[in-house]
A = this chain, B = another copy of it.
């Protein structure tokens, strides 16, 4: 079945039974498979089975077929499973039923497909009845199997099955599935098979072996379905071979009231509290809990239902947490009073929970500080660093759901993922996605929304799990609301909320409020501080911030910034008081005419720098001299042009001529950066004078200002040499009075600068990667224009992620690496940092550590993320 006619023996092992693997084999067996083996190894009760490796998935996808040895390996493993379970696959007396599940090396909840009860057909079902003595259960399992298999493997839409089911219930005059008896369910199986035949144009496969083959292939193929691709893209999952397939003997949570199923976390994934946390449903299969269709019961209730099973479960979860040294997310099934664990994995958690768990586990002696640091998702800290709803704000709560993922969110209500994407990308709105329940198809829409509100589902529903992973606010299972997606409205009693109305969610309390609420800063003491202190202890990279105002500097210092990596001076030019001076300066014919305006601007700039230096004290401050093209400072609309012309006493026509003359076809590649400094040295001279005078003024007592004067957009060392001369000449004017430290260096943002960094280093005291521009030039993209094709690129898998998000290591990163190496051949200890937005992205921080940078600089709110990521990078490299 799986082989060519001539079977050749091959040495390659493609299947591992659960007693052959262990948790280190994640790449080969997937996370689920490796953990099933590991659990088996440490004596946790796991239904026996085997795992087909990710290598086979890759082989299958590449070759559209199987290697010769596979058929024999599968037969051997099925035989072993039959022996261990004392059942036979396809047997009419004592049939072995299996589940078939996907499982890649990285967790992808809900993305891949699962089939339960495989092995059932019209013959084996009689065996199942015989063994269990429960005809209703057997046909319930059978009809579930036909539906699941028909849907997942044979691509028949769920609704076709639901229609048949609804019709049957209608005819019978009942409303619940449980009100159907064995005969009804038996008839349902027959009707379901007709549904399959009609829509799939094929008979439902009766042979259990054929079922297994089709199921395995469906899992493999689902690796490349669009949802999986999108999930991998959004979560930056790259470099995997494929998914493994776990074939496991079935246990049944739906065998009656002594059976059940549940999911649980070893600690509270929302707060981190050390408490057993989870939900279960009696007489149900696993999918019922996760899908959020029935609202499950809290785990502690299990003690009342079956104390010995509960105790056994608590023991197992403790064993697992201690063994994995990490908070675990487990799935279990109780079959006729016997406990089985079906899965364990490291549990997703909120940032607050991650911090608390880390601190607690270190205190408990379970983890070292280093291990604890590595368990925290640096990106998730983002949740804690953004404002919450202000404590003093009056809350007009209109509904309350489950606090499924913390943080606060505010936006306009939309009802479909497509609308969410459209409203945000095309209209620039911020939105809250409101759904009855979410499904994997909604991922893109969820990602782009500020927060998610659902009317159904529990704390482990799809919406809740995905949002916690994304660090996005979610209120789930909000039964108070009626979601009418067709008419695009929510009704809460008499209250109607329409599409486009603004609501606010509090994911920490589950409250839904009308309108936009005032927000407040988060508390950064306690666990947060403890973890930050550990990060400071271990990291090598310094962390600076990008800030242009004393206020931003203050925030950044509170977040632990160690200096400014990028202070953009152009922002200071836009102030209402100054922009007229800037414009007059630009309109001037020559340096003489510019002089009086520059003199006035110098006073303003001096004050700006004084404010910043005062906050930063002796910490290093990198000041970038003027960068944008001059036309950015000129008015664009007619009224403003007219006004400026009047102020300058010049005909409007002439002003238009100046503006036209400054117009550029590709401003990003035009007259900006050091090119401005070279053509108008007097502008840079003014800025350097303002810096020097401010620094002299602030440097008093213990304070010794440490300024790094940065020349932007250098592509050729002569540019830097020339402007270094201009800067030095100004500083020479203050000879004998310089009471501050300074360096003169450059931003590296032009590909040519990277490949000639050995020369550039000759004239630079420091370098700082401007990865925004460097990425744009290396790819030939303009950030302003990629909107036209980037989404298509991501959808078609041309790019795995927008290169503006994380450093593109293959291209941009290669140039950065070349730059660092070349620069240090000329000047061994030259300080090199990064100041693009990517400086706050954990993946990029790790790369920066790898290539030997001295610091990263990012926006104030990302400083803690960068610090943690820096520590993790160092620890990983050890």
Q: Which residues of A contact B (CB under 8 A)?
A: 664-671, 675, 678-679, 713, 715-716, 718-719, 722, 749-752, 755-756, 759, 773, 776-782, 784-786, 788-789, 792-793, 796-799, 808, 810-812, 814-815
- Among A668, A678, A785, A797, the one with the most B-chain Cβ atoms within 10 Å of its Cβ is A785
Smallest CB separation, A662 vs chain B (Å): 8
Given contacts A675-B789, A679-B789, 15 further A-B contacts (CB under 8 A): A664-B785, A665-B782, A666-B666, A667-B785, A669-B781, A670-B786, A670-B788, A675-B788, A675-B793, A716-B811, A722-B796, A749-B780, A751-B815, A752-B779, A752-B811
Of B713, B755, B810, which contacts A814 at CB under 8 A?
B755
Q: A718: nearest residue on chain B (CB-CB)?
A: B798
- Report Cα–Cα, A718/B812, bound state, in Å: 16
Is A778 in contact with B752, judged by CB distance below 8 angstroms?
yes
- Report Cα–Cα, A793/B679, bound state, in Å: 8
Q: A785: nearest residue on chain B (CB-CB)?
A: B670
Smallest CB separation, A247 vs chain B (Å): 34
Is B670 in contact with A667, judged by CB distance below 8 angstroms?
no
What residues on B are CB-neighbors of A664 within 8 Å? Answer: 782, 784-785, 788
A792 touching B666 in the complex, CB below 8 Å, given contacts A716-B799, A755-B811, A780-B773: no
- Report Cα–Cα, A798/B716, bound state, in Å: 8
A719 touching B669 in the complex, CB below 8 Å, given contacts A664-B785, A777-B751: no
Is A678 in contact with B792, judged by CB distance below 8 angstroms?
yes
What residues on B are CB-neighbors of A789 within 8 Å? Answer: 671, 675, 678-679
Smallest CB separation, A846 vs chain B (Å): 20
What residues on B are CB-neighbors of A679 within 8 Å? Answer: 788-789, 792
Is A669 in contact with B666, judged by CB distance below 8 angstroms?
yes
Q: A669: nearest residue on chain B (CB-CB)?
A: B782
A793 touching B678 in the complex, CB below 8 Å, given contacts A715-B780, A785-B664: yes
- Report Cα–Cα, A797/B722, bound state, in Å: 9
Query: What are 23 A-B pairs with beta-carbon distances under 8 A?
Result: A664-B788, A665-B668, A665-B785, A666-B782, A667-B785, A669-B782, A670-B785, A670-B788, A671-B788, A675-B788, A678-B792, A715-B778, A715-B779, A716-B811, A718-B798, A722-B798, A750-B778, A751-B777, A751-B780, A752-B808, A755-B778, A755-B810, A755-B815
What residues on B are CB-neighbors of A715 within 8 Å? Answer: 778-780, 811
- Report Cα–Cα, A784/B668, bound state, in Å: 12
What residues on B are CB-neighbors of A716 within 8 Å? Answer: 779, 798-799, 811
What residues on B are CB-neighbors of A786 within 8 Å? Answer: 670
What residues on B are CB-neighbors of A811 within 8 Å? Answer: 715-716, 751-752, 755-756
Q: A800: nearest residue on chain B (CB-CB)?
A: B718
- Report Cα–Cα, A755/B811, bound state, in Å: 6
What residues on B are CB-neighbors of A665 within 8 Å? Answer: 667-668, 782, 784-785
| Copy total for this chain | 2
Smallest CB separation, A772 vs chain B (Å): 12
- Report Cα–Cα, A750/B815, bound state, in Å: 13
What residues on B are CB-neighbors of A752 within 8 Å? Answer: 778-780, 808, 811-812
Q: A671: nearest residue on chain B (CB-CB)?
A: B788
- Report Cα–Cα, A33/B43, bound state, in Å: 93
Q: Which 7 A-B pairs have CB atoms at the shortest separation, nearest pair first? A: A669-B782, A666-B782, A752-B811, A670-B785, A671-B788, A665-B784, A751-B751
A713 touching B780 in the complex, CB below 8 Å, given contacts A666-B785, A811-B752: yes
What residues on B are CB-neighbors of A793 within 8 Å? Answer: 675, 678
- Report Cα–Cα, A768/B780, bound state, in Å: 17
- Report Cα–Cα, A670/B665, bound state, in Å: 12
- Report Cα–Cα, A713/B815, bound state, in Å: 19
Is B675 in contact with A797, judged by CB distance below 8 angstroms?
no
Is B669 in contact with A797, judged by CB distance below 8 angstroms?
no
What residues on B are CB-neighbors of A776 within 8 Å? Answer: 669
What residues on B are CB-neighbors of A815 within 8 Å? Answer: 751, 755
What residues on B are CB-neighbors of A777 within 8 Å? Answer: 751, 777-778, 780
- Report Cα–Cα, A668/B784, bound state, in Å: 12
Smallest CB separation, A42 vs chain B (Å): 42
- Report Cα–Cα, A346/B302, bound state, in Å: 102
What residues on B are CB-neighbors of A669 within 8 Å? Answer: 666, 668-669, 776, 780-782, 785
Smallest CB separation, A370 vs chain B (Å): 35
Smallest CB separation, A382 vs chain B (Å): 28
Q: A793: nearest residue on chain B (CB-CB)?
A: B678
- Report Cα–Cα, A671/B787, bound state, in Å: 9
Q: A755: nearest residue on chain B (CB-CB)?
A: B814
Of B751, B773, B782, B788, which contacts A778 at CB under 8 A?
B751
Smallest CB separation, A180 vs chain B (Å): 46
What residues on B are CB-neighbors of A713 within 8 Å? Answer: 780
What residues on B are CB-neighbors of A778 within 8 Å? Answer: 715, 750-752, 755, 777
- Report Cα–Cα, A759/B814, bound state, in Å: 14
- Among A679, A719, A788, the one with the most B-chain Cβ atoms within 10 Å of its Cβ is A788
Q: A789: nearest residue on chain B (CB-CB)?
A: B675
What residues on B are CB-neighbors of A751 within 8 Å? Answer: 751, 777-778, 780, 811, 815
Smallest CB separation, A55 vs chain B (Å): 22
- Report Cα–Cα, A719/B811, bound state, in Å: 14
Q: A719: nearest residue on chain B (CB-CB)?
A: B798
- Report Cα–Cα, A716/B799, bound state, in Å: 8
Is A799 in contact with B718, judged by CB distance below 8 angstroms?
yes
Smallest CB separation, A424 vs chain B (Å): 18
What residues on B are CB-neighbors of A798 within 8 Å? Answer: 678, 716, 718-719, 722
Smallest CB separation, A807 vs chain B (Å): 12
Smallest CB separation, A634 vs chain B (Å): 15
What residues on B are CB-neighbors of A796 within 8 Å? Answer: 678, 722
What residues on B are CB-neighbors of A782 within 8 Å? Answer: 664-666, 668-670
What residues on B are CB-neighbors of A678 within 8 Å? Answer: 789, 792-793, 796, 798
- Report Cα–Cα, A671/B785, bound state, in Å: 7
A784 touching B722 in the complex, CB below 8 Å, given contacts A755-B811, A792-B678, A798-B716: no
Q: A722: nearest residue on chain B (CB-CB)?
A: B798
- Report Cα–Cα, A781/B799, bound state, in Å: 26
- Report Cα–Cα, A779/B752, bound state, in Å: 6
What residues on B are CB-neighbors of A668 within 8 Å? Answer: 665-666, 669, 780, 782
What residues on B are CB-neighbors of A779 within 8 Å? Answer: 715-716, 750, 752
Q: A668: nearest residue on chain B (CB-CB)?
A: B666
Smallest CB separation, A874 vs chain B (Å): 27
- Report Cα–Cα, A719/B780, bound state, in Å: 14
Smallest CB separation, A715 vs chain B (Å): 5
- Report Cα–Cα, A273/B215, bound state, in Å: 88
- Report Cα–Cα, A715/B722, bound state, in Å: 33
- Report Cα–Cα, A238/B470, bound state, in Å: 57
- Report Cα–Cα, A220/B152, bound state, in Å: 85
- Report Cα–Cα, A792/B798, bound state, in Å: 41
What residues on B are CB-neighbors of A814 within 8 Å? Answer: 755-756
- Report Cα–Cα, A850/B812, bound state, in Å: 27
Of B666, B755, B808, which contacts A784 at CB under 8 A?
B666
Smallest CB separation, A746 vs chain B (Å): 13
- Report Cα–Cα, A659/B718, bound state, in Å: 41
- Report Cα–Cα, A814/B819, bound state, in Å: 13
Is B671 in contact with A756, judged by CB distance below 8 angstroms?
no
- Report Cα–Cα, A150/B798, bound state, in Å: 71
- Report Cα–Cα, A716/B802, bound state, in Å: 13
Is B667 in contact with A780, judged by CB distance below 8 angstroms?
no
Q: A663: nearest residue on chain B (CB-CB)?
A: B785
- Report Cα–Cα, A665/B812, bound state, in Å: 23
Smallest CB separation, A713 vs chain B (Å): 7
Smallest CB separation, A795 vs chain B (Å): 10
Q: A714: nearest residue on chain B (CB-CB)?
A: B780
Q: A815: nearest residue on chain B (CB-CB)?
A: B755
- Report Cα–Cα, A752/B781, bound state, in Å: 11
- Among A664, A751, A786, A789, the one with the most B-chain Cβ atoms within 10 Å of its Cβ is A751
Smallest CB separation, A640 vs chain B (Å): 20
- Report Cα–Cα, A793/B798, bound state, in Å: 39
